[in-house]
Amino acid sequence: MEYKIADLTKEEAVYIGEKINEIVPREVDADEEEFVLKVENENGEIIGGCIAEAFEFHWSRILLETLWVDERYRHKGIGSMILREVERIAKEKGCRVVTLGTASFMARPFYEKHGYTVFTTLKKANGYISYSLVKYLDRDAPEYVPTDNSGARFRISYGNDDDAKVIENGIDTYSEDYEPEYESVGFYKKLADKDGKLIAGVVADVHKGDYGFVDALFTEAAFRRRGLGTALLREVEKFAKENGTSMILTYAGDWNVGFFAKNGYLLRGELKDVPKGRVCYELFKEL
Ligand SMILES: CC(C)(COP(=O)(O)OP(=O)(O)OC[C@H]1O[C@@H](n2cnc3c(N)ncnc32)[C@H](O)[C@@H]1OP(=O)(O)O)[C@@H](O)C(=O)NCCC(=O)NCCS
């Protein structure tokens, strides 16, 4: 049967996400939950905060997406206070693991002081190194008390969407000095049968001049093992190359890493016991 390549509709992109969620091993029944923490000074001004997400893929993990402290208030224990609160909330929710990403110009030593270890390293085209770090909360790690802990007097509380914008803006302004804002283009495509029905689909993002990321790749069960996933992956790689990007990144688990290995993807790190008893891999391919 011949298939033609076409754009994914929004509904089809959602459908693919749902199908992948069915395949990925579940550890807990909880749905994804994003939360924001903020620290305010005496005038109610936000001077630090974080955005975190719990239970992605129904795993008992908290992903710390953003952590930022206003430049005027750094090295006073505020970042540590936020991190400890994230860990407290994680434990309260029954999560075992906190993961996060940082870069060589950011804060790896800060996290290591708090008992985080690097599980992925990636040298980027611009010379910076990206790290993924993890802390298993069920393993004993002494609580780190910063030398200057004077910021602990400020109030920490849950924030809303507007507070999240302040925090995102803080980290963006900080990062601008080190890295350009890469233009991002989506690659949302499907292989369709003659009636236009989705047989296989892919959701990917290409950061021009930086890297491409495959978010989701899915082939309907009846059509697997016919090279359709490989064909779509090739399309992503072609698109990435055309957009000046020389590396593709993705995540896989022990349940599907073989597919990516056959397509030339190499291991850049592994997160053990996430989900429980399984392994999550971070992969890359140079184009
Ligand atoms: C990283 C950040 C959140 C830390 O917050 P903070 O309030 O300054 O951190 P703390 O005061 O709690 O620091 C605790 C210890 O870590 C050290 N530390 C903090 N940031 C550090 C960094 N970027 N690199 C190396 N060490 C760092 C502190 O000096 C202190 O060490 P000490 O106890 O030996 O004196 C803050 O510096 C920040 O917003 N930086 C810019 C954005 C950023 O890098 N965010 C993290 C993205 S992943």
3-state SS record for the chain:
CCCEEEECCHHHHHHHHHHHHHHCCCCCCCCCEEEEEEEECCCCCEEEEEEEEECHHHCCEEEEEEEEECHHHCCCCHHHHHHHHHHHHHHHCCCCEEEEEEECCCCHHHHHHCCCEEEEEEECCCCCEEEEEEEECCCCCCCCCCCCCHHHHCEEEEECHHHHHHHHHHHHHHHHCCCCCCCEEEEEEEEECCCCCEEEEEEEEEECCCCEEEEEEEECHHHCCCCHHHHHHHHHHHHHHHCCCCEEEEEEECCCHHHHHHCCCEEEEEEECCCCCCEEEEEEEEC
Is the Cβ atom of 75 under 6 angstroms away from ligand 1? yes
State the pLDDT at residue 179: 82
* Average pLDDT of the residues in 62-66: 98
Model confidence pLDDT, tens digit, residues 238-270: 999 999 999 999 999 999 999 999 999 999 999
- CA–CA gap between residue 112 and residue 143 (Å, rounded): 12
Q: What is the reported pLDDT for 178? A: 87
**Tell me, what's the pLDDT at 17?**
94
CB–CB of 101/251 below 8 Å? Answer: no
Would the CB of 99 count as within 6 Å of ligand 1?
A: no
What pLDDT shows up at residue 279? 97
Q: What is the pLDDT of residue 112?
A: 97
Q: Please compute the mean of the pLDDT values over residues 179-207 and round it to a whole number.
A: 94
Q: Over the stretch 121-156, which tens digit does the pLDDT of each residue have? A: 998 877 899 999 999 999 978 889 999 999 999 999
The residue nearest atom 29 of ligand 1, judged by CA position, is 75
CA of 252 to the centre of ligand 1 (A): 31
Measured from the CB, is residue 171 less than 6 Å from ligand 1? Answer: yes
What tokens appear for 157 in the block?
Answer: 């509380």
Tell me the pLDDT band of 189, cut-offs 50, 70 and 90: very high
Among the ranges given (78-82, 140-144, 222-226, 263-267), the one the predictor scored with the smallest mean pLDDT: 140-144
The domain at 4-25+182-286 falls in which architecture? 3-Layer(aba) Sandwich (3.40)
CA quadruple 97, 103, 107, 113: dihedral, nearest 10: 50
| Cα separation, 95 vs 113, whole angstroms | 21
Phi first, then psi, for residue 201 (nearest 5°) are -150, 160
280 lines ligand 1 (CB under 6 A): no
CATH class given for the domain over 33-176: alpha beta
Q: How far is the CA of 146 from the centre of ligand 1 (A)?
A: 10
The answer to whether the pTM exceeds 0.85 is yes
- Taking the centre of ligand 1 as the mean of its atom positions, its distance from the CA of residue 60, in whole angstroms, is 26
Ligand 1 midpoint to CA 106 (Å): 8
Mean pLDDT of 205-213: 94
Contacts of 269 (CB under 8 A, 6+ apart): 119, 120, 121, 132, 281, 282
Does the Cβ of 67 fall within 6 Å of ligand 1? Answer: yes
Residue 40 scores a pLDDT above 90: yes
Q: Which atom of ligand 1 is nearest to the CA of 64?
A: 48
Please state, for a pLDDT cut of 90, what percent of the chain lies above it.
92
pLDDT tens digits, residue range 4-20? 999 999 999 999 999 99
The reply to whether ligand 1 has any atom less than 6 angstroms from the CB of 170 is no
Q: Determine whether the shortest distance from the Cβ of 63 to ligand 1 is under 6 A.
A: no
More confident residue, 143 or 1: 143
200 lines ligand 1 (CB under 6 A): no
Give the start-to-end residue ranges of the domains of the chain: 4-25+182-286, 33-176
Q: What is the pLDDT of residues 87-97, one digit of tens each?
A: 999 999 999 99
Q: Residue 1 pLDDT more than 70?
A: no
Please list, residue by residue across 120-130, b when 16 or more beta carbons sit within 10 angstroms of its beta carbon and e when fewer do. bebeeeeeeeb
| Single-letter residue type at 4 | K
